[in-house]
Every structure is written in C-alpha cells, then in structure tokens.
Amino acid sequence: MSTLSVAELQAQVETDLDSTTLQQIIDAVEKNIEEHVGPGSNYVYELDHMDLLTVIRLPVRASSIDSIVEYTDSEHNPTKTTLAADDYELSDDGWFVRRLSGGTNSDDTWGWHVVITFTPAANTEKRKQAAIQLARLEITHTGYENEAVGDWSAKSLDARKERAKILRALDQSLID
C-alpha cells in the first residue's frame, strides 16, 4: 500500500491525468524512495565480520528492534541464533544497538554475521513530501529544456538534478 494516496497527490499537483496513471506514478516514485533510503518498515540490515564489536550503528534511526539473528562459530559452519530481547539494547536515540553480556544468549561481542530487522523511526510525512515532489516533477516534466509559444518562453529544470536534490534532502532529513 502506498504512503501517498491519489487524492493527496491531486490536492498538491494540478493535473488532468487519471487515477490509474497517478497511482502508477506514485508507485514508481515510492519505489525510487525505498531504493534510495530503504523501506519505511521491516528494514533488514545485514553485517559481516562483527565478531570483535559490541555496538552496531544502524543506517537509519530505529524506533524498535523486531528481531536480531546472529551467526556464530565460523563462516563455514555457522550457528544461527535468534537473540532474545535481553541480549541487546537499542540506544535512546535509536541509532545504536549494543550487545549485552548478561542476556539469555550471553556474549561480550556480536557474532561474525548479524541480521537486524527493525522499524525505522517515523518518517512517513518526510517520505510523503518527497513522493509529492518527485511525482510533481514527473508530471510536469516535458522532456524539453526550453519551450516557447509566441511571446511566452520557459526553461525547464534538469529533471535528473532535481530528482537527486529531492532524494538527498530526504537522506539528510532521516539523519537529523
């Protein structure tokens, strides 16, 4: 299901495109956002060679940890363990996961391979605004750099640069 609805897009962008076409545009821009900054839920983060570390920094801020699977022993003959909630802790700011030595699966450091599934901190509104901006760009972009009709003329923005600028801003807003 999309974060952005067709009605929300129509309220922000004037267009004669039909609902089906607008939904296709929404799906495409939301896929682009997910490819750029990751999913809005059930984010899976995998790391190798973590066996000397006690703290892992997540790529985006988490609101909660759904599960952590740790592989220990060796790369060639791993032991897979789903950690209990008392085996790790998420920092108050949501950026770091610390391995705890006093939990059910007690260990001082992480295993050699770790898979963390977590829910990113709420960023739905930021994603929605980026989706609107990207959809507007898609809808209004004509493909021409310059257009002129009679006395009227206009120069279009470079769509690739604008798209990159919107996604960079979304990256930055998820870090803050």
Tell me how many degrees the CA angle 63-26-10 measures, rounded to the nearest 5: 110
User: What pTM was computed for the model?
Assistant: 0.62
Q: Give the pLDDT of residue 171.
A: 67
The ranges of the chain with pLDDT < 70 are 1, 74-75, 142-145, 147, 154, 156-157, 171-176
CB-count burial class (<10 Å; 0-12, 13-18, 19+) for 127: buried
Domain ranges of the chain: 6-39+123-175, 43-120
Q: Give the pLDDT of residue 132.
A: 93
Identify residue 127 by its one-letter amino acid code: R
Q: Give the pLDDT of residue 176.
A: 47
Q: Give the pLDDT of residue 6.
A: 93
